[in-house]
Amino acid sequence: MVTELRFASHRSPVYGRRGMVAASQPLAVAAGLEILAAGGNAADAAIATAAALNVTEPTSTGIGGDCFALFYDAVTSEIAALNGSGRAPAALTLARLAREGYGKELPPYHPYTITVPGACAGWCDLIERHGRLSLATILAPAIRLADEGFPVAAITAHFWARGAERQLRHAPGGLELTIEGRGPRAGEIFRNPGLAATLRTVAEGGKDAFYQGEIAAAIADTVQQAGGCLTIADLAAHRSTWDEPISVEYRGLRVWECPPNGQGITALLALNILEGFDPAKFDPLSPERLHLEIEALRLAFADARWYIADPQFTNVPISQLLSKSYAAGRRKLIHPTRATLDQRHGAPVASSDTVYFCVVDGEGNACSFINSNYMGFGTGIVPEGWGFSLQNRGHNFSLEPGHPNALAPGKRPYHTIIPGMITRDGGVVDGRLVDWEPVRPSTNLPRTNLSRTNLLLAPFGVMGGFMQPQGHMQVVVALADDQLDPQAALDRPRFCISDGSAGGRVGLEAGIPPATMQALAEIGHPVYPVSGHERALFGRGQIILRDPTTGVLCGGSDPRADGCAMAL
């Protein structure tokens, strides 16, 4: 087992043209490339990658969790947002929890934290709308990995051992994901015949086989025997939703996120605030720049932790929150030389553990995809014989009556997992894509030959609980303000407001100068150093840039994980 995590190696960005996959596990990258090579597009390869990650990195993700995706269609230049998150059981109410003594917060691995797993439906719905290949073809690489086994990667082995101690050894069915009660060691072969059976069942019967058949019965029985209240009816009622993505402009680029109940709006709020400053005039790791970025995120979290909720249950004032005028008002609350730890949510109207990966195919379609169990293995509860653990996403509900994110039957919780996408304005002149700037209507080109469109710049993401919007903001700043390539943007040391609150402590990654840490502490930021395996706090990201003129792809993969970017 790896006992120390060092960052002494150098990674260069990866280039290609016919397609690229970037993920936190090389074998999952290979699964996605296999599907691209077989004629699949970005949607097909994304689901192949997601399923393979379930096999190779169950410490973070799986079919027992949720997913979100942004899909860029190269033909229409439109972006679709898929919400594959599940809902609370119909029998789970605040009154029930209060009667049982859970008035403030549920224990993190309690069966009441299990919401309906939305990932399977999300996988199937993405393929149904945007894919080309059959589900059986797409899931074949993952089924092969689960049947034949695979050598466990080093960082994954570390967190598998931790998960075995924290969850799997104590949870019903959890030993199924261990080797005699322990996590597999680095390089040790792990086979998962139960998960192979699950994926094979879904490959043959689609999402109905998961939500209405033997698997659903096993999930419901296991949860109820553990003391939960999820039922077969809850599972059968599940549906994904296709939503309008949300976006803001930052430095001439348009940054896209999924709307609430996901926390992508947090990154957009922070970027809107930061846009009024000029980070590029400061050194990237200087106290001056990090102070502005931290303060922008404190304000964003103050709003996010109040307003983000299931829009089917409460009004989320998205357009008002993302207006430039609202950002201008919030920006005035930032003191240039003093930390503010008591920021409150504004009034825009009058009244971690996760895997992120991205795929771009040779035609320019792109998929930004994220899939999660939440806290590592989630609850660690495994339906007997099926090889996957059940998430604990319901832990993110508020138990405060009247809170927008308060638990309610059939409600989706505040969700930390967020995929991102970046586009820029482009033009189509006589059927040819060109950058928008040279072809604005003020030129002499006839208007009949001119139309405006979104040019894909990059799918991107940074996984890891409440780090995710913070990582999104830091990566976008690196790309837009500093013009870094994807790998350099991911290599840069990060900060993290560790609990995702407006006044939280700030973890500073090894590589940030000690003088910067001292200066931030002197102006009031409660900072602390982070190194080794604890760097997991800062998430693990992937980025694939696409040149709209040449189609050349440039990818990077986070050095804090076992993965890579690879091209055809």
Give the number of other CB atoms < 10 A from CB of residue 213: 16
What pLDDT score does 317 carry? 92
DSSP for residue 449? G
In the numeric block, which tokens belong to residue 65? 């969790």
pLDDT tens-digit profile, the chain (568 residues): 344 556 666 789 999 999 999 999 999 999 999 999 999 999 999 999 999 999 999 999 999 999 999 999 999 999 999 999 999 999 999 999 999 999 888 999 999 999 999 999 999 999 999 999 999 999 999 999 999 999 999 999 999 999 999 999 999 999 999 999 999 999 999 999 999 999 999 999 999 999 999 999 999 999 999 999 999 999 999 999 999 999 999 999 999 999 999 999 999 999 999 999 999 999 999 999 999 999 999 999 999 988 999 999 999 999 999 999 999 999 999 999 998 877 766 555 433 468 899 999 999 999 999 999 999 999 999 999 999 999 999 999 999 999 999 999 999 999 989 999 999 987 655 555 556 554 444 444 444 444 567 899 999 999 988 899 999 999 999 999 999 999 999 999 999 998 767 788 999 999 999 999 999 999 999 999 999 888 889 999 999 999 988 999 999 999 999 999 999 9
Task: Give the β-pairing of 540-546 and 553-557.
Answer: antiparallel
Q: Are 417 and 352 in contact (CB under 8 A)?
A: no
Please report which residue ranges of 57-134 form alpha helices under DSSP H: 94-99, 119-130
Which candidate, 77, 39, 36, places its Cα nearest to that of 358? Answer: 36
Looking at 354, 416, 423, 516, which residue is catalytic?
354
Angle, vertex CA 461, rays to CA 543 and CA 153, nearest 5: 80
Q: Is 354 a catalytic residue?
A: yes
Alpha-carbon distance of 6 to 479, in angstroms, equals 25
Q: Which amino acid is at 491?
A: D
Task: Give the β-pairing of 253-257 and 420-429.
Answer: antiparallel
What pLDDT score does 441 carry? 43
In the numeric block, which tokens belong to residue 535? 């760097």
3-state secondary structure of 39: coil
Q: Are 29 and 23 in contact (CB under 8 A)?
A: yes
Residue-by-residue DSSP string for 120-139: HHHHHHHHHHH--S-HHHHH
Q: Where are the domains of the chain?
A: 1-420+459-568
CB neighbour class for 95 (10 Å; exposed up to 12, middle 13-18, buried from 19): exposed
Q: Is 27 left (phi over 0), alpha (psi -120 to 50) or beta?
A: alpha
Helix axis angle, 287-307 to 514-522, nearest 10°: 60
Task: Give the β-pairing of 506-509 and 527-530.
Answer: parallel
Which candidate, 120, 134, 131, places its Cα nearest to that of 207? Answer: 120
DSSP for residue 415? B
Length of the chain: 568
Give the number of other CB atoms < 10 A from CB of residue 480: 21
CB neighbour class for 369 (10 Å; exposed up to 12, middle 13-18, buried from 19): buried
Which candidate, 538, 423, 470, places its Cα nearest to that of 267? Answer: 470
Q: Which amino acid is at 495?
A: F
Quote the pTM value: 0.93
Q: Please provide residue 52's backbone torsions phi and psi, each rounded to the nearest 5 degrees.
A: -65, -35
3-state secondary structure of 358: strand
Distance between alpha carbon 303 and the CA centroid of its chain, in Å? 20
Alpha-carbon distance of 402 to 330, in angstroms, equals 25
Alpha-carbon distance of 174 to 167, in angstroms, equals 7
Alpha-carbon distance of 485 to 556, in angstroms, equals 8
